[in-house]
Amino acid sequence: MAGLCTSVSVASQFTVAAKEMFQQGLPETLLVVDSDPVGRQLFRGVLKSSRYRILEASDVSEAIAILRNDKVDLVVTDLVLRDLSGLDLCRKLRAEKSTRLIPILVVTSVQTVESEIAGLDAGASEFLVKPISPMALRTRIRGMLRTKHVVDSLDEAESILFAMARIVDTRDSETGDHCERLAELSVLIGSAMGLPQADLTALRQGGYLHDIGKVATPDAILFKPGPLSEEEWAIMRQHTIVGESICRPMRSLRPVLPIIRHHHERWDGSGYPDGLRGEEIPLLARILQLTDVYDAIISKRSYKQAFDPDEALEMMQQEVDRGWRDPALFELFLSVMRRVREGNSATDTSDSA
Ligand SMILES: [Fe+2]
């Protein structure tokens, strides 16, 4: 019964999140960036008959200020602006998570192969050469917005998965911030190893998504105060496989799948779901596993008290000695934890001074 109630509440929270994300029917917002007021007036005139909401900026700084405060669906920018160039604007938009998917149409006086390559390199989506044909502009914008809707739906699907993972985390841990801590600590370990940015991104996402499969684990098993029966363990182990299958359709989450599937493997091959051993276990899954175990030990759960960090590291050392964890990686983990704790105590001292 408790499982049913939780499932209903998870479903209703999920529905609210989905509704908020899929609001439809609003006119699309276009941001026109042109330092020449006559140029902006021209765009407004051409697009007057369309159902767009049009915002205007005269340079890159103004455009960025608008993009910070308003939801923009497409940017049309002149290549030459009074502060920076249209390509600088492209680069700035592509560098920010909130604006990286906005299509950008660059309007230019001259288009050569070299300028097109430079534009694509900066993140421009399409180009239009002056003098602009009103029909070409309208058609191009309609096409770009259609593509954006497809991209948006993918991005929103990813957001929904993260919202779901957040709900699972709240259900599973006392405070609901276990995933956040895992993501931070895993990235810290990955950075200390000099891993590339793509791996750090996968580690951050893995921190949130690794236990998403628990959405299918009944409460009676998840919150059982005593030891699980063999049958219950079999269901519990399924969360790794269920989680992988939930995230598999998202192409952008492919690098996270090995973390989700293998974060309960053990160095000696006694883990699950595949009984991988040693370096057969993907490195990112081994990293996430150490931070997961550490955070679980130092956190209070319904069935156990929180241990202090020294006790946690001692217990993890015993697991290394038993053959469960990667010994070399644990050494690195210890050194990073030492640095983190020294950093914290330095902060504490300066705060109290
Ligand atoms: Fe797990």
Alpha helices in the chain (DSSP H): 2-21, 37-47, 60-69, 86-95, 113-122, 134-172, 178-192, 197-209, 219-222, 230-247, 257-262, 283-298, 309-321, 327-352
Comparison of pLDDT for 283 and 162, the residue scoring more: 283
For residue 222, what are the CA distances in angstroms to 129, 166, 236, 295, 302?
61, 16, 8, 17, 10
Indicate whether 179 and 322 sit together in one domain: yes
- Per-residue pLDDT, averaged over 40-69, amounts to 92
> Domain for residue 341, yes or no?
yes
Comparison of pLDDT for 116 and 131, the residue scoring more: 131
Domain with 232 in it: what CATH number?
1.10.3210.10
Question: Between vectors from CA 186 to CA 262 and to CA 14, what angle results, nearest 5°?
Answer: 70
Largest Cα–Cα separation, the chain? 75
Domain with 148 in it: what CATH number?
3.40.50.2300
pLDDT band at 10 (very low <50, low <70, confident <90, very high): very low
Indicate whether 90 and 187 sit together in one domain: no
> Domain for residue 158, yes or no?
no
> Domain for residue 8, yes or no?
no
Centre of ligand 1 to C-alpha 212, Å, is: 8
Domain region containing 140: 29-153
* Residue 230: Cβ-neighbour burial (10 angstroms; 0-12, 13-18, 19+): exposed
Rounded distance, CA 77 to CA 114, Å?
19
> Domain for residue 81, yes or no?
yes
- Last residue of some domain: 153, 184, 219? 153
Centre of ligand 1 to C-alpha 230, Å, is: 17
Predicted confidence (pLDDT) at residue 25 exceeds the cutoff of 90: no
Indicate whether 104 and 202 sit together in one domain: no
Mean pLDDT rounded to a whole number for the chain:
85
194: left (phi over 0), alpha (psi -120 to 50) or beta: left
Centre of ligand 1 to C-alpha 312, Å, is: 18
Centre of ligand 1 to C-alpha 208, Å, is: 11
**Cβ atoms within 10 A of the Cβ of 254, count?**
11
- Last residue of some domain: 118, 153, 188? 153
Predicted confidence (pLDDT) at residue 205 exceeds the cutoff of 80: yes
Rounded distance, CA 101 to CA 104, Å?
9
Is the four-CA dihedral 43, 49, 52, 56 of positive or negative sign? positive
Rounded distance, CA 278 to CA 57, Å?
57
pLDDT band at 173 (very low <50, low <70, confident <90, very high): low
Residue partners of 215: CB distance under 8 A and separation at least 6: 10, 164, 167, 168, 242, 246
Indicate whether 99 and 33 sit together in one domain: yes
Indicate whether 55 and 144 sit together in one domain: yes
The residues carrying an active-site annotation are: 214
What is the model's pLDDT at position 18? Answer: 39
Centre of ligand 1 to C-alpha 287, Å, is: 13
Give the tokens for residue 215. Answer: 């959405």
* Residues 36, 42 contacting (CB under 8 angstroms): no
Comparison of pLDDT for 149 and 320, the residue scoring more: 320
Indicate whether 179 and 321 sit together in one domain: yes
* Residues 28, 74 contacting (CB under 8 angstroms): yes
Centre of ligand 1 to C-alpha 224, Å, is: 16
Centre of ligand 1 to C-alpha 303, Å, is: 17
What is the model's pLDDT at position 12? Answer: 39
The count of domains in the chain is 2
Rounded distance, CA 221 to CA 81, Å?
61
> Domain for residue 14, yes or no?
no
Indicate whether 184 and 270 sit together in one domain: yes
pLDDT band at 302 (very low <50, low <70, confident <90, very high): low
Indicate whether 138 and 212 sit together in one domain: no
- Last residue of some domain: 94, 119, 153? 153
- Per-residue pLDDT, averaged over 18-38, amounts to 73
Residue partners of 233: CB distance under 8 A and separation at least 6: none
Indicate whether 131 and 229 sit together in one domain: no
pLDDT band at 3 (very low <50, low <70, confident <90, very high): very low
Indicate whether 47 and 81 sit together in one domain: yes
Give the tokens for residue 351. Answer: 């705060």
What is the number of residues in the chain?
353
Residue partners of 205: CB distance under 8 A and separation at least 6: 183, 253, 255, 256
Indicate whether 125 and 198 sit together in one domain: no
Rounded distance, CA 36 to CA 16, Å?
44
What is the model's pLDDT at position 74? Answer: 96
Centre of ligand 1 to C-alpha 68, Å, is: 37
> Domain for residue 13, yes or no?
no
Indicate whether 148 and 72 sit together in one domain: yes
Q: How far is CA 275 from the centre of its chain?
A: 29
> Domain for residue 179, yes or no?
yes
Centre of ligand 1 to C-alpha 264, Å, is: 6
Predicted confidence (pLDDT) at residue 288 exceeds the cutoff of 90: yes
Predicted confidence (pLDDT) at residue 5 exceeds the cutoff of 60: no
> Domain for residue 159, yes or no?
no
